[in-house]
């Protein structure tokens, strides 16, 4: 039993699992992109309004941007990209970004 508790605590401390679970529970507009996981997705720009949903996030492979569009709720681009003047917090600098699909 102690091993289970220690293992669970290690996962919660070593990954963004706890903060992502809280984010998902507190605001229904939040989601984890299909290419990512609750264990690896990390928001790095959060909306400052009445809702606390992510605007930009990352995982080991991609950067993500929330678009507010129903047919493509987010864009994503590889962390290793060749965009000139790339700024991970400015989608206007993202070249060749892919459209994320809504989870259904």
Residue 89 lies in a domain: yes
| Domain extent for 62 | 2-99
Residue 82 lies in a domain: yes
CA-to-CA distance for 42 and 2, rounded, in angstroms?
Answer: 29
CA-to-CA distance for 53 and 96, rounded, in angstroms?
Answer: 24
Residue 93 lies in a domain: yes
Give me the torsion for CA of 91, 98, 28, 9, rounded to 10°.
-90
9's CB contacts (< 8 A; 6+ apart) are none
Residue 58 lies in a domain: yes
Count how many domains the chain has.
1
Residue 87 lies in a domain: yes
Residue 80 lies in a domain: yes
Residue 71 lies in a domain: yes
Q: What is the pLDDT of residues 13-55, one digit of tens each?
A: 566 788 878 877 877 778 999 999 999 999 999 888 777 789 9
Q: What is the pLDDT of residues 49-90, one digit of tens each?
A: 777 789 999 999 999 999 988 889 999 999 999 999 999 999
CA angle, corner 86, sides to 16 and 44, nearest 5?
20
Residue 104 lies in a domain: no
Residue with tokens 């930009």: 56
């Amino acid at each position: 039993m102690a091993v289970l508790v220690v293992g669970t605590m290690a996962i919660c401390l070593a990954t963004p699992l706890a903060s992502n679970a809280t984010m998902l529970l507190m605001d229904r507009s939040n989601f984890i992109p299909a290419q990512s996981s609750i264990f690896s997705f990390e928001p790095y720009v959060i909306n400052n309004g009445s809702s606390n949903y992510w605007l930009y996030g990352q995982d080991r492979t991609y950067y993500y941007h929330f678009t507010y569009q129903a047919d493509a709720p987010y864009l994503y681009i590889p962390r290793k990209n060749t965009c000139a003047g790339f700024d991970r917090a400015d989608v206007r600098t993202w070249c060749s970004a892919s459209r994320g699909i809504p989870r259904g």
